[in-house]
Amino acid sequence: MKIAIAGAAGRMGRMLLTEVNGTDGAEIAGGLERAGSPDIGTDLGSLIGLAPLGIAISDDPDVVFAAADVLIDFTVPAATVANAGHAARHGTAMVIGTTGMDADQQAAVDKAAEKVAIVQAGNMSLGVNLLVQITAQVAASLGIDWDVEVMEMHHRWKVDAPSGTALMLGKAAAEGRGQDHDAVAVGGRHGITGERQKGEIGYAAMRGGNVVGEHSVVFASDNERVVISHIANDRAIFAAGAVRAAMWCAGQKPGRHDMIDVLGMR
């Protein structure tokens, strides 16, 4: 499986390259960076401390997509949307870990998925996706009378909130209770907010240090709480999940998939 990486020179890009290099049946096919990046022309092997591979970082999407079976993208929404368009034109599958997309950007990704297989998830780790499934089950069992709050913490450099993972969890709780998530979601509270309304799903986001990712879902009633959590200690778990998703794309028909599909948990 020939796998290319968008944002190849970044922290996550280098981790993905390392993961691809160490995965049986996978090979590094290319690396993409923004025009003007000082890393253009750098050999991808040398970038991650290996012998040169003879494949340089490029700012030409057509070159990178033409060489790859699948591209993994953990960049920013605007870049991901542009890459989805290139993927559709070249017939190249995509794995998308980018978060913070608005409705129009998501619609563009969905349009590309009409032509190629796209795996998209706010979090690629096995543990988090198990947590998502459990959250839906607990929410369905406890029902609307239990208050639901989703709490997350990430490193100081994260630019979107709540995190994509937090939204996955909140949407799972809403699905479990048969709710329209967007109608009941409440962001960070401030000032005189009034009483909490029945059925709300609240979010709290914290930022600081170099925290990879911590997420908890709190189910609260008058006399007890159920708290389920996931703590990520190393960003490598996301790279491993993304490469697993990329390998899964082989032979898949066009459509938008998630990690639950990849892991066979649906």
214 and 155 in one domain? Answer: yes
111 and 15 in one domain? Answer: yes
What integer pLDDT is reported at residue 66 of this predicted model?
97
If pLDDT is split at 50, 70 and 90, which confidence band does 188 have? confident
92 and 113 in one domain? Answer: yes
d(CA 220, CA 199): 12
d(CA 249, CA 149): 34
84 and 211 in one domain? Answer: no
CA-wise closest residue to 102 among 123, 76, 121 = 76
| Catalytically annotated residue among 90, 111, 115, 158 | 158
| Catalytically annotated residue among 154, 171, 215, 230 | 154
Six token digits for residue 29? 């096919």
CATH number for the domain spanning 96: value is 3.40.50.720
Residue 2 annotated among the catalytic residues of the structure? no
Identify the domain containing residue 246 by its residue range.
2-120+235-262
Q: List the beta bridge partners of residue 43.
A: 56
Q: Is the model's pLDDT at 54 over the cut of 80? A: yes
Per-residue pLDDT tens digits for 132-179: 999 999 999 999 999 999 999 999 999 999 998 999 999 999 999 999
Q: Is the model's pLDDT at 266 over the cut of 90? A: no
219 and 208 in one domain? Answer: yes
38 and 110 in one domain? Answer: yes
- In order of 100, 108, 186, 201, the CA distances from 103 in angstroms are 10, 9, 18, 20
Six token digits for residue 4? 């290319």
Number of domains in the chain: 2
The residue-averaged pLDDT of 198-202 equals 97
Number of H helices, E strands in the chain: 10, 12
CB of 100 within 8 A of CB of 120? Answer: no
116 and 17 in one domain? Answer: yes
155 and 24 in one domain? Answer: no
100 and 186 in one domain? Answer: no
Question: What does DSSP assign to residue 36?
Answer: T
Residue 253 annotated among the catalytic residues of the structure? no
137 and 27 in one domain? Answer: no
138 and 79 in one domain? Answer: no
The secondary structure element, H or E, covering residue 215 is: strand 213-220
111 and 164 in one domain? Answer: no
How much of the chain, in percent, has pLDDT values that exceed 90? 94
CATH number for the domain spanning 203: value is 3.30.360.10
